[in-house]
Structure 1
Amino acid sequence: MTPVYRAALGSEFDRLHPNLQWRYGIDSTAGVAQMMTGLIESIYITAALPPPMVWYYGKRNAMPSKTSRMLPFKAGNYCYRDELGRECLAVLRTFDYSTGERHLNSVIVDGVDGFVDYFGDGPELLYPIEPSVTKDGSLLLESGPVRWLRGPKFAMRGPFVAQMKYLEGWDEEHQRFRCDATVRNPVIGEVLHYRGWFTAVDKPITMADIPDEAWPYKLIDRES
């Protein structure tokens, strides 16, 4: 199988920094997962979001749910093919708050209708993603308007729109990866962000070793 990022980027994948090519070069046949550990230097949730909304999506592991700084961080990348035959990359993130662990889970799919990222255990949110490679070989992901997967099929528009931007690159000086994720709204401005650094290693696994959380509760075939 072709790794999801190589399928989405095509020949542009070869412009990624070699360490990012290694990071995103695994697929469901590789027999490995990738384990990350590091530090989230800043994580922020705007006070403009209604607390019930933050609680709801935080409880369903679809968004960070608490502002903080200097949080220990770990994550796992797991590849598999879903029941629709789509190559998937599940990313299970854990933020180690002083009050306990919080999670942010997503599944990236290079589907028939495009490159999409499903967030939350439901899943709850769908971001259509446009991936690209920057001049320095970093990976840039920019989303269209978020789609809500509960209720009627629609994308938020105008003052309610939310769009994500994610940048990941290699820090040559410190020999580690850096990540910077932001969701913005035209009225509120920055809705949330998390940014920090991490290191990564491959870990041999079998299908039986993939955590249950890597599969959403419900198979969603919607890609737009």
Structure 2
Amino acid sequence: MSPVIQNVLGREFENLHPNLQWRYGIDSTSQLSQASHGIMESVYSSPVVATGLRHFGKRNAMPIRTSRLVPFTMHNYCYRDELGRESLAVMRSLNYTSGAHGLNSLLVDGKEGLVDYFGDGPELLWPIEASVDRHGSLVFESGPMRLLAGPKIGMRGFMAARMQYIEGWDENQNRFRVDATVRNPVLGELIHYRGWFTTRDEPCTLREIPDEAWPVRLESREH
């Protein structure tokens, strides 16, 4: 199997900055994980998220607290799920002064393209279009968010929420940068997190992948 992002991007993968190619070049056969440490310079959660969508925060599907200069860790694990799909689990921990909060996602190379499941359940589904910008950064543009907890419905029209995620390399500081935003056409910005991190490879067999990297249930829905 090819790495998730490489398979989705195809030949465009070669346009990524070399450090992004390294970062997303591992797959389920590599016997490697990646450990990252950094600072979220800004984390924003709108009042709508903090009140109406608190359930998803508790399920590690979205940040629910606004803050600045938040230390965070991130661990990436690759495996093939029970449906044979190449998967990349991304386990984030935002270490607020009041305690750690998880923000976990599972990128899956689905039958019709890239799918990003968020939360422990998973709770949310984002269909993703991946591309490379002129700086060699990785760009994710999502379709409308789908809810997977409770009734499985799409959020469209004035209820739609779309995500943009950009990850690039900072040549001056010699580290990765991330900028993620979720917006609604009526309410505007609902969530953002942006900051920097460094990453290293670590040996990791399938048996060593932590239980938390696997969702509570296998979700076959991809759209």
The TM-score normalised by the length of structure 2 is 0.98
Task: Indicate the residue corresponding to 2:41 in structure 1.
Answer: 41
Task: Indicate the residue corresponding to 2:217 in structure 1.
Answer: 218
Distance across 2 between alignment mates of 1:203 and 1:48: 39
CA-CA distance at 1:49 after TM superposition: 3.4
Task: Indicate the residue corresponding to 1:168 in structure 2.
Answer: 167
SS in 1 for 2:202: strand
Q: Residues 30-85 of structure 1, C-alpha deviation per residue, up to 9 Å, x if partnerless?
A: 0100110000000000113361522x111100001110000111100000000000
AA aligned to 1:82 is D
Q: Given the alignment of the two structures, is residue 68 of structure 1 paired with residue 55 of structure 2, yes or no?
A: no
Distance across 1 between alignment mates of 2:49 and 2:137: 31
Q: How does 1:101-140 map to 2 (within 5 A)?
A: 101-140=100-139
AA aligned to 1:131 is A
Q: Which runs of 4+ in 1 moved over 6 A?
A: none
Distance across 2 between alignment mates of 1:163 and 1:79: 25
Distance across 2 between alignment mates of 1:209 and 1:218: 20
Task: Indicate the residue corresponding to 1:19 in structure 2.
Answer: 19
Q: Given the alignment of the two structures, is residue 159 of structure 1 paired with residue 152 of structure 2, yes or no?
A: no
Distance across 2 between alignment mates of 1:49 and 1:100: 19
Distance across 1 between alignment mates of 2:31 and 2:203: 6
Distance across 2 between alignment mates of 1:197 and 1:151: 35
RMSD: 0.9
Structure 2 residues not aligned, in runs of 5+: none
Distance across 2 between alignment mates of 1:157 and 1:207: 38
CA-CA distance at 1:209 after TM superposition: 1.3
Task: Indicate the residue corresponding to 1:90 in structure 2.
Answer: 89
Distance across 2 between alignment mates of 1:215 and 1:106: 10
AA aligned to 1:3 is P
AA aligned to 1:71 is V
Distance across 2 between alignment mates of 1:166 and 1:154: 23
Distance across 2 between alignment mates of 1:179 and 1:49: 21
Q: How does 1:51-66 map to 2 (within 5 A)?
A: 51-54=51-54, 56-66=55-65
SS in 1 for 2:48: coil
Structure 1 residues not aligned, in runs of 5+: none
Q: Percent identity?
A: 60
AA aligned to 2:81 is D
Task: Indicate the residue corresponding to 2:198 in structure 1.
Answer: 199
CA-CA distance at 1:197 after TM superposition: 0.1
Task: Indicate the residue corresponding to 1:209 in structure 2.
Answer: 208
Aligned length, in residue pairs: 223
SS in 1 for 2:178: strand
